[in-house]
Chain A
Amino acid sequence: MSTVTSVRSSLAEFDERRLLLLATFLPLAAFFTLVWAIPIAYALGMSLFENPTRAASFAGLSNYVEILTAEQFPLFLWNSVLYAVSTTVFSLLLGLGLALVVNQQIRGGSVLRTMMIFPYLLPTLVVIFIWQFLFDPNIGVVNQWLVDFGVVADPIAFFSTIEWAMAAVAVTSVWKFGSFAFFILLARLQAIDPNLYERARVEGASTWQAFRDITVPHLRGAILIILLVRGIWMFNKFDIIYLSTRGGPLNATTTLPIRVYELAFNEVNFGAATALAGIMFFLLAGVAVVYFRVFEPEKEVTH
């Protein structure tokens, strides 16, 4: 009798737990299916059709072939990689440098820390206006300095010169997104036990050795996560580039996301646009797999 009750009660308990699990899991699964799996599958499906929004006809991988063999595809891919890598690396270096400065208890450090949030808070459009104004060939202060100090003979229209457009967009982006790395790295720096540095000094380590052997290992995880998420975001970045140069001049700043937009809305070729989006997706997925294999970001410093 008692065995029966205990079996029954354990069964009831089991059911209760399973119910709870289901109740919490189902909404999540439904949500992800609705906003994640279906749109992705739909977009990838679209990429297999010719003219998918009107008279759809199955085209297999011909959209992909068309994109990959297009004459300018290597340029767009190169632009994307150049933009993503340079802005990620330089915003990381900018954030790291400033975080190291603010982490030293210098006068005005807290003011600088507060000011660092502004670029991130400012709307992209305002940031672009600021930099277009600074880089303006007629009234921009940057050109004025360059001419005054004799670096260049004539002012440069940075945003509309083939050689400089990408650099100008990258500088604008780095200025805006440097604070992202700054705040993550500063938080990490402040979590390091100051006694470690004191011990290192007593043991004879120079400032550089202490930085290399204590600071860098502690920041490793944070740097890797910044590289990953910032890299993905910058690879997919559309607004800051499109709003400042529209991909020009002469495609000098046309990255893959901008090409997707052009294909979809200027050339009304949704098949090719979704195929290119699919290619970007697989590229990023490939990079992410390599990233997790090589860097093992989960190997954080443990306390």
Chain B
Amino acid sequence: MARPIHLDSVRKEYRSAGSVHVAVDDLTLSIPEGSFTTLVGPSGCGKTTTLRMIAGLETPTEGRLSFGDEDVTGQSPQDRNCAMVFQSIALYPHMTVRRNIGYGLKVQGVPKDERDRRIDEAAETLQITEQLEKMPAELSGGQQQRVALGSAFVQDPDVLLLDEPMSDLDAKLKAELRVEVQRLHQELDATVVYVTHDQTEAMTMSDQVILLNQGRLEQFAPPGELFDAPVSEYVARFIGTPSTNLLPATVAETDDGYALAGDGFGVLAPADRFADRVGDSITVGIRPQYLSADGGDYELTVIAGVVEQLGTEFVVHGHTPDGTDVDAVSTAFGAVEHGDELVVGFDPGDLFVFDADGRTICHGDALAGETPRQSP
């Protein structure tokens, strides 16, 4: 039975030799039952600590954690019906694959026949039937990962926790196992929480994404919203590859109204949001994919540095004349060479505008109405 997970003002600190390190700070969120939720963020942002608190391997310093209506804050891991897949895979090296998968059932007192039936079923699903009598050391990395998933699967958990399970695998295996994990989610009646530092995994697999920044919740939203409507510069930078371009600008009052004036552009801005910000330093964000080689309401000059080919697309890593780094992605940049001066266009609808503290002032939809007079 899948259960929702509620975190209420959860804080976790580690004390060592007089110093206090806050790993997770004032985290409040509700993960819907049966959903696939990804915890994402850079190393050290507290995502694994959060997962371990859900598993019961760490106890929150403050705050409350509950599964549905049941308060599990002080409950030991044995008493929560969780299953967890560890980053190090953590297969028992002295047990065969069959015993590895069945260990959880065995300690819970499931009879042998029932155990074997469920192990065979899980092995079937994960295509590791031939490996059942082998030792973990005889398996490849991908097969070991399948065994770890299998032992989580047979327990029929309420909550399935995955801690960067694919970080050691190559790209092809990752893609394969991504599908496997999603299939497991569909077959299991469980709330899945998945930790990764890889935003591609987060974006492709999940119903919603929790993005953490130094132990604090930055944004909790479905992947699409995270991509299209980041609440801060941090989110915009973290989600999407290459990273969102950040162009420094100031709010200026012009004859046409208000404008976001940067190096070589002046984007018209609505008065209701910017009238009281005249003179403020702001940052304009634009995704590299939205800088196009032709067209666009506004233009930006980019001096090309390194050009990378990604299949059909080309990534230009360059900078503006005043030295701000800018990346642009398009199929049209094939002929660009180092030192070339490009003029790329963009539409106001694709912009994000952040204040000096990195919080979002508005997204492109608020700017899109303000069409410049000179454009056709």
Answer whether residue B78 sits at the interface, using C-beta atoms and an 8 A cutoff. Answer: yes
- B56, B84, B88: the one contacting A193 at CB < 8 Å is B88
User: A198 contacts which of B57, B103, B108, B135 (Cβ < 8 Å)?
Assistant: B57
A204 pairs with B107, CB closer than 8 A: yes
CB distance from A208 to the nearest CB of B (A): 10
* Chain A residue at smallest Cβ distance from B82: A202
Residues of B within 8 A of A (CB): 55-57, 76-78, 82-84, 86-88, 90, 92-94, 103-104, 107-108, 135, 137, 151, 155, 161
Alpha-carbon distance between A200 and B91 when the two chains are bound, in angstroms: 10
- Contact B83 A203, beta carbon cutoff 8 Å: yes
The 8 Å CB contact of A199, one of B76, B90, B135, B137, is B90
Is A54 close to B, CB under 8 A?
A: no
Q: Are B92 and A203 in contact (CB under 8 A)?
A: no
Pairwise interchain contact B94-A218, C-beta atoms closer than 8 A: yes
CB of A35 within 8 Å of the partner chain: no
Tell me the residues in window 185-214 of chain A with beta carbons closer than 8 Å to chain B beta carbons: 193, 195-196, 198-206, 209, 213-214
Give me 10 A-to-B residue pairs in the complex whose CB atoms sit less than 8 angstroms apart, sorted by A's number. Answer: A195-B88, A196-B92, A198-B86, A199-B84, A201-B57, A202-B82, A203-B83, A205-B78, A302-B135, A302-B137
Min CB distance A94 to B, Å, is 25
Residues from chain A with Cβ under 8 Å of B155 in the complex: 203
Kindly state the interface size class of chain A when it binds its partner.
20 to 34
Q: Identify B107's interface contact among A193, A205, A218, CB under 8 A.
A: A205
User: B137 contacts A303, CB within 8 Å?
Assistant: yes
Q: Which residues of A contact B (CB under 8 A)?
A: 193, 195-196, 198-206, 209, 213-214, 217-218, 301-303
CA distance A213 to B57 in the complex (A): 19
Q: Report the separation of the CA atoms of residues A196 and B76 in the bound assembly, to the nearest whole angstrom.
A: 16
A201 to B93, CA, bound (A): 17
The distance from the CB of A33 to the nearest CB of chain B, in whole angstroms, is 40
Whether A201 pairs with B94 at a CB distance below 8 angstroms is no
| Cβ-defined contact, B77 with A206, below 8 A | no
- Among all A-B residue pairs, the 7 with the closest Cβ atoms: A203-B104, A195-B90, A217-B94, A205-B107, A201-B77, A301-B94, A202-B84
Alpha-carbon distance between A201 and B79 when the two chains are bound, in angstroms: 9
Q: How many angstroms between the C-alpha atoms of A195 and B155 in the bound complex?
A: 18
- New contact pairs (19) apart from A198-B90, A204-B108, A205-B78, CB-CB < 8 Å: A195-B90, A196-B90, A198-B84, A198-B86, A201-B56, A201-B78, A202-B55, A202-B57, A202-B77, A202-B78, A202-B84, A203-B103, A203-B151, A204-B78, A205-B107, A206-B78, A209-B107, A301-B94, A302-B94
Contacts of B76 in A (CB 8 A): 201
